[in-house]
Structure 1
Amino acid sequence: MPVDYEGVLLLMYVYGCGAVRLRTAVACGTTICVAYPLAEAWAGLPPDALQARTLFIVTTNVIGMVTAWILDQEARGNFLVARQLRGMAHVDFLTGLPNRRDFSERIEAAWKQASAERRPLAIALVDVDWFKAYNDRYGHPAGDRVLRAVAQVLARHASGSGDLVARLGGEEFVCVWYGATAGAARAAADAIHADIAALGVPHAGSDAGRLTLSIGLHVVVPRPDQSRADALYQADQALYAAKAAGRNTTVLGRADGEGDPAPAGRGAAAGGMYEREPGGVS
C-alpha cells in the first residue's frame, strides 16, 4: 500500500530537530491532519490508500506534537533553572538579602535617578559590634542566627519604594533610603537600634552585655561631579567614628567632614566613606 515515507521523515525532522514550539506544533499538526485527507480525497485517492496515508499522517503529527511538548517542558525547566541561578548569584545565601554584587548594580541605578531628580540618598553602613568575639564565645551557628535576625530588622526599616538593603559581607550591612532627609535617616537608625535592643540577644563580650550595632550614616543629594564611591567613603568614615565613640551608636557624617550634633546617647559625626572589604571593624 503506497505511503509517503519521505513526508513522514520530513515531518519528524521539522518537529524534532526544528524545535517547534508547542503552540505552533498543535496548530500546524491539526491543520495538516485535517487538510491532507481532504486534499487527497478531492484528488481522487482510492479509499484504502487514503486511509493508510491518513493514519500515517495523523500518527506522525501526534508524535511530533508530543515531541514538541517534551521540548517545550525542557525549555521551560532550563529557563527556570537559569533564572534561579541568576537570582542566587545576587542573593546572600545566609540572610536572603541582596549581596554586594546586587547592591553595586542597584545603588548605581539609584544614584543616577537621585541625581536626575535632585533627591537625597541616605546611606547607612551597619556593623555588628564585637561579632568575632560573639562567634568565639557562642559558636558560628549562633552567629549565623544573629546575622539573620539583624537582616530581618534592617529589611523592615528599608522597605520603601526605592530603598535598598544588602549584606556586604561578614557582619557588615548597608541600607539606603531614597529621598530621606538627615532627620528621617537618623530616626530610622534610632528605630533599628531599638529593635536590636528589643531582641535581647546576650553578648558577654560586649560592653552593653547584649547584641548592639554601630551605624555610619551619610546623606547626600548626588551631583553630576560626584560618584557613589565618594558617598560610600563618607558613610564608611562615619562608621569608624561610631566604633571609636564606643559602639552601639549612630554617627552622621558630612561631606565637609564637620560634625553634626548627634542625639543623646549617640556619637559625634565624621566625614568620608568608600567601598572597602568587610570585616575591617567589629
Structure 2
Amino acid sequence: MPAHHLPFDAVHPSPYREALARGHARLRFAPALEREFQRDQHRANLAWLRWVLWIGIATYGAFIAIDLLTVPLHASRWTAAIRLFLIVPVLVAALLVSHRPARRPWLTPAVFMAAVVTGCGTVGIVVLTLALGAPVPYEGTLFLPIVIHLLVGLPWRWALVANLVPLGMFLVLVPMVQPDPLVQTYQLSFMVLANIIGACGGYAMEHRARTTFLTAGMLSELAERDGLTGIHNRRSFNEHLQRVWQQAARDGTCVALALIDVDHFKQFNDRHGHADGDAALRGVARAVAGHAKRPLDLASRYGGEEFALVWYQPEAGRLSAMADALRRDIAQLELQGADGPTGTITASVGVALLRPRNAPRHTDLLRAADIALYQAKHGGRDRVVVLSHPDLEQLSFPETASA
C-alpha cells in the first residue's frame, strides 16, 4: 500500500478503537484487552465492593436479632443459624480476600461464591420458615438480584449465574411449602421479574462500563501518540526512556537509543509537496515501529523528520546490524506520490549504548545518541554510527565516577 494512503491505525493498530468499532454486545473483548478491562474494573470497584460487603454483614447480623425477637423459637434458631454460620462467614471471607493483594485474583470467585451462598441461604430461610409454619416475609429475596447485578461489581455472566442458582432453588422449593396458590403465583412471578430487571440493569451497566473503558483507552493513546504517524510522541518517549533507564539501573543492564533523521527531508518536501512529505514520514514511522519488537522497546517520533527507537538490553555485538537493518528498511520504502513514484528516501542513524552505572542520567544516553547522529549526518548521511562504552568515555559524563 502506498505510504500516503496508510490510515492512522496502519502504523499503530489500536485495540480500543478496533473493539469499539466491532461492538461488544456479547460483553467480551479479545483476551489481552479483556484482562486489562477486568483489572481496571477491580481497581475501580474495590472500595465500593468493600462497603457493600460491610453493609451485607451488618444487615444479616441485624436480622439475626430481629429473627430471635420476632420469629417463634422453633424457627428462629434455624434462621439465625443460617445467617450466622453460613451467610455472614462467606461475606467476611470475601471481605478478607479483598484486603489481600496477593489473593486479589481470587476476588471474583470469592464474591461469586458469597453471592451464591447468600442467595441460597436467604431462599432457604424463606422455605424453611414456610415449612415450619412461621413464615418470614419473602420480599428480602427480591433485593438479591438487584444487589448482585448492580452493586458488587461481578462480571455480568458471573452475576447472572449467581442469581440463577437461588432463583432455581426458589422456583422448585417454594411450590412445595406454599399452600396458597395465589400467593405462590405472586411470589414466583415477582422473583422472576426481579431477576429479569436485575439482569437487564447489570447488562446495561457493564456495557456502559466497557464503552467508557474503550473511550478512555483511546484518549490515553491519543495523548501518547503522534497525530501524523500514529507512533509514540515526544512526551511518551521521554517518560518511557526515564522508566527503562531506572529499570536498567535495577537490573544492572544496558539501554540503547537510536536517533533516526530523514536525509534532506526539507528538499523532498519542497519538491513533492507536504502531502507526499507526510506520507514519507508515515512510511518511515512504520519502518521504525517494525523494529520495536519487545515489551520494553519503543518507537517514537522525536520531532519533525526525526525519530527515536529505544532498545532495552540489546546484544552489543548485534547493535550495528540492527541499526543497519533499520536504515535499509527505510531506504527500501516504496513511496507513491500523487504524480507517480517519488523515488527513495534515506536516513542517518545514530546509536548509543550505555549502562546506568557508566552514566548517571537518562539524558546522557540521549546526548550520546545525538552525537552519534551528528557523526552519521556529517560523515555522508545514509549511514549508521554506533557509540558504546568505552567509546563514550570521552564525553565525560558528570558524576560517572560516583555512579
TM-score normalised over the length of structure 2: 0.52
Q: In the alignment, what sits opposite 2:213?
A: 79
Q: In the alignment, what sits opposite 1:130?
A: 264
Distance 1:13 1:183 in 2: 63
Q: In the alignment, what sits opposite 1:219?
A: 353
**Structure 1: stretches of 5+ with no match in the other structure:** 203-208, 259-270, 273-282
Is contact 2:146-2:195 (8 Å) kept?
A: no
Among candidates 159, 166, 182, match of residue 24 of structure 1: 159
Q: In the alignment, what sits opposite 2:392?
A: 255
Among candidates 319, 322, 334, match of residue 188 of structure 1: 322
Q: Alignment partner of 1:256: what SS?
A: helix
Distance 2:139 2:233 in 1: 56
Q: Over the residues paired in the alignment, what is the CA RMSD in angstroms?
A: 3.5
Distance 1:62 1:244 in 2: 73
Alignment of 1:70-219 (within 5 A): 70-160=204-294, 162-180=296-314, 183-199=317-333, 210-219=344-353
Among candidates 355, 375, 387, match of residue 241 of structure 1: 375
**Structure 2: stretches of 5+ with no match in the other structure:** 1-136, 337-342, 398-403
Is contact 2:262-2:306 (8 Å) kept?
A: yes
Distance 2:383 2:148 in 1: 66
Is contact 1:122-1:181 (8 Å) kept?
A: no
Distance 1:157 1:13 in 2: 51
Q: Alignment partner of 2:393: what SS?
A: coil
Is contact 1:216-1:242 (8 Å) kept?
A: yes
Q: Alignment partner of 1:248: what SS?
A: coil
Higher share of residues assigned helix: 2
Is contact 2:331-2:347 (8 Å) kept?
A: no
Q: Residue 66 and residue 146 in structure 1: after superposition, are their counterparts in 2 closer, same or farther (change >3 A)?
A: same
Q: Residue 33 and residue 231 in structure 1: after superposition, are their counterparts in 2 closer, same or farther (change >3 A)?
A: same
Q: In the alignment, what sits opposite 1:206?
A: none
Shift in Å, 1:155:
3.1
TM-score normalised over the length of structure 1: 0.72
Q: In the alignment, what sits opposite 1:38?
A: 173
Distance 1:176 1:238 in 2: 15
Is contact 2:352-2:368 (8 Å) kept?
A: yes
- Paired letter, 1:255: L
Shift in Å, 1:146:
1.0
Shift in Å, 1:178:
3.0
Q: Residue 54 and residue 147 in structure 1: after superposition, are their counterparts in 2 closer, same or farther (change >3 A)?
A: same
